[in-house]
Amino acid sequence: MALMAQRRICIVTHTFLPHVGGIEKVVYEQSKRLSCRSYAPLVVTNRIDTPKSYVVDGIPVQCYESLNTGFRLGIPYSIPMPTSLQTFMKAAKCSDIIHAHGHPYLTSLVAAKLAKWYGKPFVLTQHNTFIEYDNFFDSVERLNDLAVGKQTLKDADKIIAVSNATKNYVLSLGAQPKKVVVLHNGVDLAKFKPMASKRLEMRRKLGIPVDAFVVVTVRRLVYKNGVDTLIDCANIAVKKNRKIVFVSVGKGPDMSNVQMRIEQLGIADNFKLAGFVSDEDLPSYYNVADLFVLPSKSGEGLPLVALEAMACGLPVVATNVGGVNEILMDDYGKLVPPNQPKLLAEAVLDFAGVDFTSRSKELRALVEEKFSWDVNVGRLAEIYEELI
């Protein structure tokens, strides 16, 4: 029996590993599994302190040059240099299908146009809903949606939305309903799992008392992620229960302001900033905790960090934005409105008053059933085959 020829997939993503973020994880997890399914993925991405080409766990990566001024402002938007067109053309020409991530990026629009030029099917995955910056960047984002995003969506042969909330967002921008399919993200179940041995080890490492109730969040420190709400929540919660300790994993342009605010409130002993943590070490930080909190203001499509926390057996308290309500399960978490630190604190205090240990296995089993990357990539492969 003859072996099936490999399908060549050109995957265009704004950023990729070693740069860390949600889209990067999705592209990595999908590409890794596509490689085991008779597909040959090639990732084309922005060059940020990397060689022009490199390999990540067998996944070949080609980089284009761009201006990355926005990254320093907490807005991960780059502008590709004219010289980068050759990189895109070469990758697109030799591919069977082109798959871009994120509708608002110029690189996604370039990928869409090259797909039409070379007669290749074009798939677009949209990850987030509208991101609110609470400044003039909101207007810039809306203009970009009209100038770049709507055109990218129009050119797509298939649009993958990671949640129903994301689907509604792209439909509001004029996407044709028949083109849009919802495909929930998955979680690496082998990496993110309960590890009882890490609990005491990590508490000693972080200087957290053994009997503390630990609340962890994994957030880039920027406005949209709601770290200000979390700090105000902590200030309320620890005054009512001194055994509560918050651990914030991540860094970002607001790091110094966050540190200053924590010190001003006098809660430094109960609010620890862990800074950047590698993906390899991240499961240990989930396992130090009793509760995960997601205080986002906007823009959440389907947050991977919430799935990772639940895979480690943690209940989740989150703000009701984007597609968060599509993954939180009854009795294993709670939703509160965004920008409401008092309500967030009340939810944290509620969970601090109960022993969730016996329910962790139940939650883990539900995550295994509902959010497997293998199921996700199986459906993705079906979408590809429908188009090729």
Q: What is the pLDDT of residues 342-354, one digit of tens each?
A: 999 999 999 999 8
Rounded-to-integer distance, Cα 92 and Cα 98, Å: 7
Q: Let me know whether 25 and 146 are in one domain.
A: yes
Q: Let me know whether 135 and 271 are in one domain.
A: no
CB atoms within 10 A of CB 351: 21
| Strands 333-336 and 97-101, bridge-based pairing | unpaired
Does the residue 287 lie in any domain? yes
Domain span holding position 335: 196-370
Q: Let me know whether 50 and 85 are in one domain.
A: yes
State pLDDT tens for residues 111-168: 999 999 999 999 999 999 877 777 777 788 888 888 899 999 999 999 999 999 999 9
CB atoms within 10 A of CB 80: 18
CB atoms within 10 A of CB 256: 9
Does the residue 191 lie in any domain? no
Site of tokens 């997601």? 294
Does the residue 352 lie in any domain? yes
Does the residue 305 lie in any domain? yes
Instruction: For the chain, give the mean pLDDT.
Output: 93
Q: Let me know whether 162 and 224 are in one domain.
A: no
Q: Do residues 101 and 90 lie in contact, with contact meaning Cβ atoms separated by under 8 Å?
A: no
Site of tokens 């766990």? 57
Q: Let me know whether 173 and 254 are in one domain.
A: no
- Give the predicted TM-score (pTM) of the model: 0.92
Q: Let me know whether 214 and 172 are in one domain.
A: no
Q: Let me know whether 13 and 154 are in one domain.
A: yes
Q: Let me know whether 246 and 179 are in one domain.
A: no
State pLDDT tens for residues 121-130: 999 999 998 7
Question: Given a cut of 70, is residue 178 above it in pLDDT?
Answer: yes
Does the residue 2 lie in any domain? no
